[in-house]
């Protein structure tokens, strides 16, 4: 079993955290009221930030699929059946 590199008591839930705010922008549930409040303030100043976060997530997913070599429909995977 892997030991955590920090104690749960070390997580400061009284201040907003960028990762939890990003989760809020993506529509996630792993954030706190303080993160939601800060994220709403950002949304008032930059309304497109939610779309930016969603586009960023979509790009990361595409990049990861490319890096692991996910086959697109119609592609022949390496080592697949050959003629003969």
pLDDT per residue as tens digits for the range 42-61: 999 999 999 999 999 999 99
Domain membership flag for residue 18 = yes
Predicted pLDDT of residue 14: 95
State the DSSP H helix or E strand holding residue 67, giving kind and residue range, or none if neither: helix 49-68
30-52: b (≥16 Cβ within 10 Å) or e: ebbebbeebbeeeeeeeeebbee
The first and second tokens of residue 7, run together, are: 């104690």
- Cα angle at 34 between 42 and 14, to 5 degrees? 135
Q: State the CB neighbour count (10 A cutoff) for residue 53.
A: 18
What is the pTM (predicted TM-score) of this model?
Answer: 0.72
Domain membership flag for residue 82 = no
Predicted pLDDT of residue 75: 58
Owning domain of residue 43? 12-67
Res. 3: pLDDT tops 80 = no
Domain membership flag for residue 47 = yes
Q: What is the number of structural domains in the chain?
A: 1
pLDDT band at residue 79 under the 50/70/90 scheme: low
């Amino acid at each position: 079993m892997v030991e955590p590199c920090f104690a749960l008591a070390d997580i400061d839930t009284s201040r907003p955290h960028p990762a939890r705010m990003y989760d809020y922008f993506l529509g996630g549930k792993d954030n706190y009221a303080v993160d939601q409040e800060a994220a709403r303030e950002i949304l008032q100043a930059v309304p497109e930030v939610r779309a930016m976060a969603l586009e960023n997530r979509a790009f990361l997913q595409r990049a990861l699929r490319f890096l692991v070599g996910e086959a697109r429909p119609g592609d022949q995977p390496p080592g697949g059946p050959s003629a003969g």
